[in-house]
Chain A
């Protein structure tokens, strides 16, 4: 299975390594660097690299490469998922997963890695179990440890959830305020062509939960229109049978934050596009190029579009842009040639626009094609697909929890061709 693990920073330092079997020298990472040097962008490093005796499977997150080394035929996604999960767990422990935070917590990272895998096989990958085995660093605890002279860092008892039928939940959870929040978040991925018509639009949705309930609650969540969900991925806690037969989500929730389901609404169903652009981009010799973009809401079901950001990646031959936005601010990164316009919210009265000139490098040929635009935005209190929670019931416990549902629509990969 997974043989070794390396973390590499952006400057090519292998600053963390862990081996679950025999030690593999970190010079194995040279193969990785070789591939990396061939890539134009940090994102372009191939996820799987073959070397004469090993396979390097890597992910790129937070400006760090996490590289797993395998020597035998393993499912690569298994490894990729492990790496993502490891990053999630580090983030959970240290609030962020950066070079500094990992270096600050070397020993915990090492202990965690050792606990997560045994001989390369996953041993304990659930955050709640790990947290019982290895306590996350925390200011208060550090003080207690120093004062009492005892260490509370590693638990001496077997985590309770480890072997139960609900490994995702620990027992004996107690809260004074029992609450459960559900966020229905939808991301819209779209490609809009020059003329404004939709090439492809699809919705990737999640129900993210924050559950702080005492004891062993058994929840049932139902939707007004569950028909929308024909392509769903479930958290292991969900009882699949009941979904199949009744289309309700029945589950014993993990404690704390988790993703209950994610779903996908395909392009074949028509997806309403909440925002539209009018654009006129023209390159000419010198600084006579024109850039003119206007944003207006389209189908927003009466909600306001907020946090709008427009990004435009220009070709290398563009030197600079001089623009005037009607609202918000813009900046131009002369290295990456990216113009970012932070628009803010779109008022129903006037639609934001940005206008100005593009300067080309003298002598450079006029670019073939116009640059694609990327849009970010969010609309609160709206799930674009129309998905609505019907009700949440709790069984198994006596108290009355506080319940809340929030909806949010965001732009995922929303691209407009010009």
Chain B
């Protein structure tokens, strides 16, 4: 007789059938029916329709039936809140039952029913149960407080349940204490106000320590975690806690062991680092950690991630345990990779021989990922242990001889690092490396090889040929390889200028003209300019001595490490990230290690150093992420980053790239003058300057003065921006019967101080029925008076007949100046700086362009896109512009794919210009 029989009916009327059975008079049949319902529920079938029928079975003295009904209630009460109310009376009655099991069951089930109406009725029974004479009921009630807090935190705080819960910490029964601790930890996690009420003090810590020995293993985990979150006041107290916690290190439950490790690791910081007790503790920590590694692989994995932290913080603990990290061929891959990482951390001159032998063994395994990491590990050993570098290099050479493609590529990547660490030592192997040139197909390996060739160009006779061979497919290469190739060839040129001129010109033109990667172009231009203006400086910059790479490149930054040590055994320790970085709703408390004790006494102010996380709602991505975006394109991974010493100008920061533009801008002619590369280059340059003047949008001329009002003179005009200047394009048409002449023009005071920069030149006399046009350059140095609308301009035109007054609107975009591109950091700072009430949103309807065209179009009109970001499928363009009078305006343009309506948010100090700018966007984007 098995439960699978409950699934045997597949007929249509299944629910109907169950309903009938539930209403049966026979107890036995009823119970079977409820079981059938539960079985269907377990596999995710919807049996909520049976709610009233099942609830009817609740009033029973049969405990099994009661429990089954409760199971059902917990699952479906949420979807049928009104029905659930029917059950309340039974619950309340059960809370008074003489059997503690039933009392506990009732309060427990009520807590699981997440329906507000029921929760109201829960408070009284819960209060009673928290003070019940039976510890089983109390311990269940403690958890129920946490449940209630999750449903309605305010209610729990208002009803004083927190204090009742805190009282349970002093309960005589350890199981009750443990559950109270568990409930408190969960509540503290989500509510900072509760955290203040529930803060542990020394005397509660002592009570917890007493309960620790007697409660279940699970309770021990809660208690240990709670203890690790409080910081004792002085060294003696810390030591006594350690003494009482260390027996837990020998527990069979891995979770208990690791939680105990956390407490000890944290408190050790407070102990005298030279004391005997400290040394004893160090010795005591090693065996339990090693033991965790003979547990199931899942436990091993968590243990290994934690050991990785522990080894970085206190390498002494496991320094003699290298062998337990040796990899077995049938370990799961996640265990293998972690073990490998720790092996490297533990490597020292004493055990390097063994480690190398192991690594070499691993490099012949089948799992590609693992083999790659093993080869890298050999390189890391070489960098870490100088004495062994030679052995590592020869091991790597052996591996290269295997000709296994991915092994060779990894080997070359790490050899590059070895060269950086030990210059002028192992260059003899370059010849061997060069033999494998053709087999390299991964960007990182190619880039590494090219770096090696460039760096040691003077020792490689055919360096030029080698690099030239790479150059053939330049356009198809990964940007990482392109950048390396560019740098390498420039290095080669500086070392052997005589025969490589052609090569360097080729690569420079490839980089600057044919590439659409701005980093590559920027770097190309910088080299170009450096080479053409000051070859000596170029030599100093490009061939500068590089700082040696550090021994350990992947150590966790110390403050983060300290924080993570406080989170040993938690998810944070597995991800090596502070919980605030990934746990939702985590209140922003940062844990810090207790300050080291020098004198034994600790300044109290420092102990509670909980730094609230700064959470500023920002519309703009952080500066880091913007820069990061740019870097991503260039650099493959963390290890690649070492390749670019800071002294070599790379496009690492956007600041540099904008500087590069200025550099080029000013000295452009001198660079281009003697250049043999014709005018073609200009096109390329124009591109990066982003000022193809003719492309700026010029609205069509409109009639400013109709002939009937101008005594036969019709004036049409518009405004344009060309060559960094505003022009008034004006056409006079003579519709009178006589010649016109003596034209002159004058502006009234206006918002932007526009005035003619030169007198009006027009062919005179203007015969009847003829037109004369001119472009009148305007300056912005005239008298200023704020107009309404802002862009309105009053003009007086005189001819030999009369003086005419006309008024026109200057399209605001002609006021946008060419140097309106704000530096990214300044932009960020400014954006934050401007109060948010200055932000105004506009909608721009029906734009039929994508983000790229949009930014190009806007750029043509001196609205500069500074950064682009994709947020949940939307393109966000961050833009800046500057008006002739020096007013900066920042903008954020939100573009949703498929939606022709863009959202424009403007932010600036002067809000008057907003509507004009909105107008300018409209004009530009719709033309």
Contact = CB atoms under 8 A, between A and B. Distances in A.
Say if A and B assemble together: yes
Interface in A160-205: 162-163, 165, 167, 189, 191, 193, 199-200, 202, 204
A48 B574 contact: yes
Contacts, number: 259
A153 interface: yes
Given A55-B571, A165-B214, A264-B290, A75 B100 contact: no
Given A72-B186, A104-B4, A231 B255 contact: no
A76 interface: yes
Interface residues of A, number: 103
Given A59-B298, A75-B258, A315-B366, A232 B250 contact: yes
A151 B290 contact: no
Interface stretch (A215-223, A233-241, A274-282, A321-329): A233-241
B747 interface: no
A30 B432 CA distance: 48
A402 interface: no
A77 B255 contact: yes
A266 B291 CA distance: 9
B559 to A, nearest CB: 19
Nearest to A84: B296
B28 interface: yes
B541 interface: no
Contact of B291 (A151, A231, A369): A231
Given A156-B101, A232-B250, A167 B571 contact: no
B872 to A, nearest CB: 12
B531 to A, nearest CB: 47
A153 B366 CA distance: 52
Given A48-B574, A110-B38, A119-B143, A75 B3 contact: no
A231 B290 contact: yes
Interface string A60-95: 000000000001111111101110100000000000
Interface string B306-335: 000000000000001101101011101110
B723 interface: no
B805 interface: no
Nearest to A162: B136
Contacts of A39: 333
A228 interface: no
B140 interface: yes
B42 A106 contact: yes
A16 interface: yes
SS class, residues of chain B in contact with chain A: helix
B571 A81 contact: no
A234 B251 contact: yes
Contacts of B334: 44, 46-47
A108 B6 CA distance: 13
Nearest to A76: B302
Contacts of A137: 2
Given A47-B297, A48-B571, A78 B218 contact: yes
A1 to B, nearest CB: 7
Contacts of A226: none
Given A17-B42, A368-B402, A267 B189 contact: no
Given A17-B42, A23-B75, A199-B326, A43 B297 contact: yes
Contact of B252 (A80, A155, A262, A417): A262
Given A75-B569, A76-B570, A158-B100, A44 B3 contact: no
A85 B291 CA distance: 18
A264 B2 contact: no
A21 interface: yes
Interface string A22-57: 110010000000000001110110111010010101
A107 interface: yes
A340 interface: no
A191 B326 CA distance: 9
A292 interface: no
Interface stretch (B63-71, B448-456, B658-666, B704-712): B63-71
B428 interface: no
A142 interface: yes
Determine which residue in A1, A78, A109, A156 has the highest number of CB atoms from chain B within 10 A of its CB, and name it: A78
A22 B111 CA distance: 12
A106 B39 contact: yes
Nearest to B71: A114
A202 B324 CA distance: 9
Contacts of B585: 72
A391 B71 CA distance: 49
B853 interface: no
Determine which residue in A153, A163, A313 has the highest number of CB atoms from chain B within 10 A of its CB, and name it: A163
A149 interface: yes
A262 B292 CA distance: 11
Contact of A154 (B64, B78, B257): B64
A59 B299 CA distance: 9
B150 interface: yes
Interface string B557-585: 00000000001011110110001001111
B424 interface: no
Contact of B247 (A110, A149, A240): A240
Nearest to B220: A236
A244 to B, nearest CB: 8
A191 B328 contact: yes
Given A50-B582, A75-B258, A43 B332 contact: yes
A80 B288 contact: no
B358 interface: yes
A156 B63 contact: yes
B39 A233 contact: no
Going nearest first, the 7 A-B pairs with the smallest beta carbon separation are: A231-B287, A369-B364, A154-B64, A104-B2, A47-B298, A122-B218, A77-B255
20 contacts: A23-B75, A39-B333, A47-B334, A58-B298, A71-B584, A74-B570, A75-B225, A75-B571, A76-B302, A78-B221, A106-B6, A107-B35, A119-B147, A163-B136, A202-B324, A231-B287, A235-B252, A240-B247, A369-B365, A374-B330
Given A73-B570, A109-B42, 15 more contacts: A17-B44, A57-B298, A73-B571, A77-B299, A77-B303, A81-B253, A104-B4, A105-B2, A106-B43, A108-B3, A200-B326, A234-B250, A236-B251, A266-B321, A313-B330
